[in-house]
Amino acid sequence: MSQPSKPTTEASVAAQPDTSETGDRAGRRRRKSAATVNALDGIGGLGAPAPDSFLSVRDLRVHFPTDDGLVKSVDGLSFDLSRGKTLGIVGESGSGKSVTSMAIMGLHKPGTVQMTGSIRLDGQELVGSSPEAVRLLRGKKMAMIFQDPLSAMHPFYTVGHQIVEAYRMHNDVSTSVAKKHAVEMLDRVGIPQASSRVDDYPHQFSGGMRQRAMIAMALSCSPDLLIADEPTTALDVTVQAQILDLVRDLQSEFNSAVIIITHDLGVVAELSDDIMVMYAGRAVEYAAAEEVFERPKHPYTWGLLSSMPRLDRARIDRLRPIPGAPPSLINVPSGCPFHPRCAYADRTGGLSQSQRPPLEEKAPGHYAACHLTPEQRTAIWETDIKPTL
């Protein structure tokens, strides 16, 4: 594997040809945090994982052949995540967040998907591994809180039985000890009368309770990597706070690595060390959380921040939705995939329409994929965006 290329600054940015084979260019080590986006060198080589990386994703591509064409749901994603750190992934519906998570968990059905690149978990390569080998990692090595609770639970078994089985697979304990643990976990996620509800079937739980039970299941084995895909959407505010506390407890007790996927920027801000903004199956911005909130550099991130309600935003009438809709992942727009929706696309002398911007370091440890010059970006941020947030 090649060594990571040296950090490039914006002055050295060269536009890349618009080809899906090109990938993101020139991986750079994050300076401020443990997670790293190591983009590609443009001809298929990959930067080495960060030394302390627990999860290393390199040039991940997850494509689905369909009758309408090849759906490029994830198209060249690279990042590292260390133990004890949290990566927040944000992006509009359809940007590839869940497909990425399912790829890490090995849950895409073989035969329906084309998956290339590399996913290394604690040094073990998952892409191309047998489904059985990956299955053995689920539970203790990695666990996921799914967007849809029903996809995580078997309808024919009681909730308690499912937690007990998962727990016993990775812990040498009796059924009664495992059941006690299951009741404790259900109690911790706020299931009332957990000791009796433990014997209910998933359909006997309300939607919110199913969500909580699934969270209990995911946390029950204290996974080394937890992927939480929209973990709090179906839950009321009090339970949301409990769940986020549980994730934090898990992290401090077991030094777990956490990926949190959510539309809720408040949740991301509270939990994440780093944030990766995805658009059309690619990373368009990546930096420490504070950087993304305080000094965002990509027009799409500006759009997200302007369009999402935040507790600290004084006036809700300032919300400005991003015009247009996310692109087709079968016919991804040429050049920058965001160009049909970007208010600044006409300021780049045609580059936005013709050449894909590589993900590059725009400030120390802060990466974005955009053709705007530093002067243009600063001027737009200072005059158009910052005063409106």
Ligand X SMILES: Nc1ncnc2c1ncn2[C@@H]1O[C@H](COP(=O)(O)OP(=O)(O)OP(=O)(O)O)[C@@H](O)[C@H]1O
Nearer of residues 162 and 352 to ligand SF4, judged by Cβ: 352
Rounded Cα gap, residues 371 and 258, in angstroms: 31
352 touches ligand SF4 by CB under 6 A: yes
The alpha carbon of residue 146 and the mean position of all alpha carbons in its chain are separated, in whole angstroms, by 12
CB 60 to ligand SF4: min, Å: 22
User: What is the residue-wise DSSP string for 300-320?
Assistant: HHHHHHHHS--TT-S-GGG--
Among 28, 72, 188, 371, interactor with ligand SF4 by CB under 6 A? 371
95 touches ligand X by CB under 6 A: yes
256 touches ligand X by CB under 6 A: no
Rounded Cα gap, residues 308 and 220, in angstroms: 33
Rounded Cα gap, residues 284 and 268, in angstroms: 17
Give the position of tokens 């089985």. Answer: 165
Choose the stretch contacting ligand SF4; rule: CB under 6 A; options: 13-21, 44-52, 308-316, 336-344. Answer: 336-344
Q: Which does 95 bind (CB under 5 to 8 A by kind): ligand SF4, ligand X, Mg ion, none?
A: ligand X
93 touches ligand X by CB under 6 A: yes
Q: What's the DSSP call for residue 327?
A: P
Are 90 and 278 contacting, i.e. CB atoms less than 8 angstroms apart? yes
CB 384 to ligand SF4: min, Å: 12
CB 105 to ligand X: min, Å: 13
Q: Which does 99 bind (CB under 5 to 8 A by kind): ligand SF4, Mg ion, ligand X, none?
A: ligand X
For 171, 315, 360, the CA distances from 370, given in Å and listed in that order, are 48, 29, 8
Residues in the chain: 389
Rounded Cα gap, residues 215 and 145, in angstroms: 6
Stretch 51-90 residues interacting with ligand X (CB under 6 A) = 64, 66, 71, 73
Nearer of residues 64 and 338 to ligand SF4, judged by Cβ: 338
**Which positions lie near ligand SF4, rule CB under 6 A?**
298-299, 336, 338-339, 342, 344-345, 348, 352, 357, 370-372
